[in-house]
Amino acid sequence: MAKATPLSGIDLILADLDGVLYQGPHPIAHAIESLSKAAKSAQLGYVTNNASRTPSEVAAHITSLGLPTEAHDVVTSPQAALRLLARLIPAGSLVLVVGGKGLSEEVERCGFRITRSADDRPDAVVQGFSPEVAWGDLAQASFALQRSDIPWVATNTDWTIPLEGGIAPGNGALVSAVHLAVGRLATFAGKPEKEIFDVAQERFTHHGGALMIGDRLDTDILGARRAGMASALVLTGIDTAKTLLACDASMRPDFVLEDLRDLHKPYPVSVTTEDSDGVVTVEVGKAVVRRKDNVVRVARKGADIDLIRAGAIIIHDSGLKIFGLDVDPQIYSKA
């Protein structure tokens, strides 16, 4: 009998993009071929917090990398933000937009009028990431939001975004700048909020299990858990083995993948035992990790990814905070 893979029982795969499928313009190693193979047995959609591009532009990028994609397959944080905004203000209202084409086109598609100036006394502010967002845009949002009676919806909270040159400030950092100026909080629509997962669930009809694949614990994995979906963290983007070991229960993935080839490999079963001296042992594949009180050590290294999986299990199941544990650096030093 074949051993279960992360795709066993799954007929809908929802994948993040930045850090999962590509970084900047370039595909991440093994991502395209792995998702192409997965699409033979499951529906494939994309859920992205990046608000800078339209669904058509995103779909064209994915297609150019060798994975045929339609705009309908792409769920964006602007779509979630406008779904939320439509419940807060009447159709035809004037909206101050801080962001790029991916956001402004969605605002217009939903029947709202656009301004970039607080002097026009907008009925709401909507904010999303774009590389072109400048200080002046943030200032206009701040001026408008000094009227406390208007809604402020932001597409997402991502503090960072992985780009070709490295890690750069994301929309969360830009929203925080406005927050510090006006002393009020935005309402968020993208991952990990429920709104964007509601859009995805309505977009894709499926009858089996759904799997969310992401590189961020605080958006992809937390959001999937809130939505009742299985989740897989792939270590090709923002989060690493070290952040996985330190995460709280709300962000713990069902699967940990070195890269997307692991979607098609049997996922190893973990075995946990405890001896009479209180030594806890976790085995995953050939990797063995032991914990005695607050000390966590590698007993047998095995494969790097299995060592990370074993380390995560033994730490998460300990009930102890990461700062109170003495963890063998071998567990996280490879990622």
DSSP bridge pairs for 233:
214, 256
Distance CA 64, CA 167 (A): 24
Distance CA 37, CA 48 (A): 21
- Whether 18 is catalytic is yes
Q: Closest Cα to residue 238, out of 64, 2, 17, 13?
A: 17
**Structure tokens that stand for 5 in this block:** 């893979």
Identify each DSSP E strand in 181-277 by its residue range: 187-188, 209-214, 230-234, 255-257, 270-274
Strands 43-48 and 10-15: parallel
**Structure tokens that stand for 87 in this block:** 């419940």
Q: Residues 19, 158: contact at Cβ < 8 Å?
A: no
Which of 18, 123, 239, 262 is flagged as catalytic?
Answer: 18
Determine the residue type at 67: L
**Structure tokens that stand for 254 in this block:** 């069902």
Cα distance from N-terminal residue to C-terminal residue, the chain: 33
Which of 16, 73, 262, 306 is flagged as catalytic?
Answer: 16
Nearest-10 crossing angle of helices 101-109, 77-85: 40
Q: Which residues are catalytic?
A: 16, 18
